């Protein structure tokens, strides 16, 4: 397989948690969320190049945590930007060869090695791989006037890791920033590429609230990962 | 205000839980889920008429549970049908006067009295009230060819209680069954009515898995309801 990179985006300030601790540093089963996430990629492949994008003012906290937890998984640290878009773009500057690059949320520690592997493999064949899950609720779309029911069988909630061929993602990130760029798939779609959806995992949640942390603990205790 | 009814639909067989106990009968903080749900409406108003729709073969289990837990909240029991649509239709046959009728999932025990009140009030003015919440993920729609990003600010996940003017809902339920009827809003929309969305509540979850039960316990312990 091609050379593999992962950009782990950990830019969040944790404001939604109502605490001053950024959510990627919160403790999950004995170690910070972000260490779980990084370790998952390292366990998938110890040859993968791990690029961690952190806000500048979290560098020293992260360094202290790595010392405290004796965290030895090799990773390169890059300063984040004002937006997620800018953070990923900064991360891409550390991707120094061709190959495949995953972009993954630092606060998705429950991603499985199976899903990581599937996304790299699919992207290698199809140019990209974007994991998604079904929605269980009835879904409506608000329009200029009124709203309408959507066919929920066609609605997908998007996750990470989103994996791309390096040169395609770099090319897409030459586009100017737009508010509609809520993930990387939206950037490469805007650049004219077709999106290749793959089945994600329900337990691959994004930890943004105190409840999410409890759910993550539940999955760690109850679901084979 | 008008005379008020609620049809509580508790038709689920609990198959997704991987257990033989229907999910509405599972224990949540010391009593069955369904008793929490019924009590919430009774606490909102002790004049409300409560109609519980249960599968025929759950009648005796429910009666035993009511005796065991000394559950005294007055409610009428109606036999459910093959589909949710048929169950609600059966429930409507027990709505014997004009007024307002809510339809609520038996497995949404965490609905607040505030939300119940808001839905009845809004429906009284606008004909219906359908609670919904935001979606936090990036959302894509699968099309005949490929897929596209939707503006997630316009996407709403639908909850219950959905409240209607009795005669409008009864009229809508004269329509023949369709697979697109995943809730009551979809039925009255098909009958030509406009849907009035109101803000729902994140904790008003539908309990369909073991994890949902854990989340419900978390909310009961941590969120003012």
A83-92 per-position pLDDT tens digit: 999 999 999 9
> B83 touching A, CB under 8 A?
no
CB-CB neighbors (< 8 A) of A155 in chain B:
139-142, 150, 155
3-state helix, strand, coil in chain A (%, to 5): 35, 25, 40
- The B residues from 174 to 213 touching A (CB cutoff 8 Å) are 180, 182-183, 185-186, 189, 194-195, 197, 206, 208, 210-211
At residue B8, the pLDDT reads 98
Q: Residue B158 is nearest to which of A140, A154, A158, comparing CB atoms?
A: A140
Q: How many residues does chain B have?
A: 225
Closest CA to B66 of B77, B78, B79, B80: B77
Q: For residue B186, list chain A residues with Cβ-Cβ distance below 8 A.
A: 138, 149
Whole-number Å distance between alpha carbons of A132 and A127: 17
Closest residue to B186, CB basis, from A135, A138, A185: A138
By Cβ distance, the residue of B138, B147, B197 closest to A147 is: B197
Residue A171 parent element (H or E): helix A166-172
pLDDT at A14: 46
Residues B48, B4: contact at Cβ < 8 Å? yes
For residue A130, the Cα-to-chain-centroid distance in whole angstroms is 11
Q: What is residue A158's three-state secondary structure?
A: strand
Q: How far apart are CA A194 and CA A149, in angstroms?
A: 26
CB B164 within 8 A of CB B184: yes
Rg (CA), chain A: 17
pLDDT in tens, A124-145: 999 999 999 999 899 999 999 9
Partner-chain contact B195 A136, CB within 8 Å:
no
Cβ distance B211 to A215 less than 8 Å, yes or no, reads yes
Take residue B129 and report the two structure tokens written for it: 């009230």
Question: Taking the model in full, what pTM does it have?
Answer: 0.90
Q: Residue B5: its pLDDT value, please?
A: 98
Provide the 3-class DSSP secondary structure of residue A170: helix
A-contacting residues in B 109-138 (Cβ below 8 Å) = 130, 132, 135-138
- Residue-level pLDDT at B222: 83
Question: Does A73 contact chain B (CB < 8 Å)?
Answer: no
**Could you read off the pLDDT of A7-60 as tens digits, one per residue?**
999 976 544 444 568 889 999 999 999 999 999 999 999 999 999 999 999 999
Which stretches of chain B score pLDDT less than 50? Answer: 14-18
**DSSP assigned state of A151:** -
Give per-residue pLDDT as tens, B3-19.
999 999 997 654 444 45
- Check CB contact under 8 Å for B222 and A210: yes
Higher pLDDT, B215 or A196: A196
Whether B154 and A142 lie within 8 Å, measured CB to CB: yes
State the nearest Cα–Cα gap between B58 and chain A, in angstroms: 25
The reported pLDDT for the residue numbered A19 is 55
**Mean pLDDT, to the nearest integer, of A183-200?**
96
> CA B106, CA B119: separation in Å to the nearest integer?
17
> Using CA atoms, how far apart are residues A9 and A1, in angstroms rounded to an integer?
24
The answer to whether residues B105 and B216 touch, using CB atoms and an 8 Å cutoff, is no
Please report the pLDDT score of residue A11 as a whole number. Answer: 77
Local structure of A224: helix, strand or coil? coil
Per residue, the 3-state secondary structure of chain B, as one string, reads CCCEEEEEECCCCCHHHCCCCCHHHCEECCEEHHHHHHHHHHHHCCCCEEEEEECHHHHHHHHHHHHHCCCCCCCEEEECCCCHHHHHHHHHCCCCCCCEEEEEECCCCCCCHHHHHHHHHHHHHHCEEEEEEECCCCEEEECCCCEEEECHHHEEEECCCEEEEHHHHHHHCCCCCCCCCCCHHHHHHHCCCCCCEEECCCCCCCCCCHHHHHHHHHHHHHCCC
Out of B156, B189, B215, closest to residue A142 by CB: B156
């Amino acid at each position: 397989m091609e050379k593999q990179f992962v950009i782990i985006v950990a830019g969040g300030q944790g404001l939604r948690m109502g605490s001053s601790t950024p959510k990627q540093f919160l403790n999950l089963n004995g170690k910070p969320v972000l260490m779980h996430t990084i370790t998952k990629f390292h366990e998938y492949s110890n040859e993968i190049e791990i690029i961690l994008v952190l806000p500048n003012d979290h560098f020293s906290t992260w360094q202290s945590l790595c010392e405290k937890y004796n965290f030895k998984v090799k990773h390169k640290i890059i300063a984040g930007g004002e937006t997620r878009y800018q953070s990923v773009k900064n991360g891409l500057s550390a991707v120094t060869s061709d190959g495949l690059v995953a972009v993954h949320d630092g606060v998705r520690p429950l991603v499985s090695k199976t899903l990581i592997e599937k996304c790299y493999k699919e992207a290698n064949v199809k140019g990209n791989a974007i994991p998604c899950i079904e929605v269980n609720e009835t879904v409506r779309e608000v329009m200029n006037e009124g709203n309408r029911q959507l066919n929920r069988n066609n609605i997908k909630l998007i996750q990470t890791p989103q994996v791309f061929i390096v040169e395609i993602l770099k090319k897409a990130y030459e586009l100017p920033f737009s508010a509609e760029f809520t993930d990387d798939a939206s950037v490469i779609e805007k650049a004219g590429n077709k999106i290749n959806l793959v089945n994600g995992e329900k337990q691959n949640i994004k930890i943004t609230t105190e409840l999410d942390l409890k759910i993550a603990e539940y999955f760690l205790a109850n679901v084979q990962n």
